[in-house]
Amino acid sequence: MERIKLSIHHLHKLVAGEKVAANATARIYAGDQLIVVEEMQGQTAWYDRYIHAKDDNGQPLRVEWDCDGDASMDVSRVEVCSCCGGDESLHG
């Protein structure tokens, strides 16, 4: 099954020189159409989210985000296992 993979390369903010959790809102577009809004909070160095987007029109994807710290993300379409939805830990 096809899903949208939101790859969060990093998400954090600096407080007194230390990395701490940050808040971010990612807006995923297919062409010019907004198809998904994802809210996230935390601190990560690489994390993938697999998202079902019922309004995906097949156009090229892009992601824009707002963050109260520092973040980097990208987005793509991927085929994932129908039984786990991309969470391979469910196979173990």
Q: Is the pLDDT of residue 16 over 80?
A: yes
Contacting residues for 86 by C-beta, under 8 A, at least 6 apart: 3, 5, 48, 50, 78, 80
CA nearest neighbour of 11 among 21, 26, 1, 25: 21
| Confidence class for position 92, pLDDT limits 50, 70, 90 | low
pLDDT in tens, 33-90: 999 999 999 999 999 999 988 889 999 999 999 999 999 999 999 987 777 655 665 6
Structure tokens at 61: 């994807």
How high is the pLDDT of residue 91? Answer: 57
Amino acid at 56: D
For the chain, what is the total number of helices (H) and then of strands (E)?
0, 7
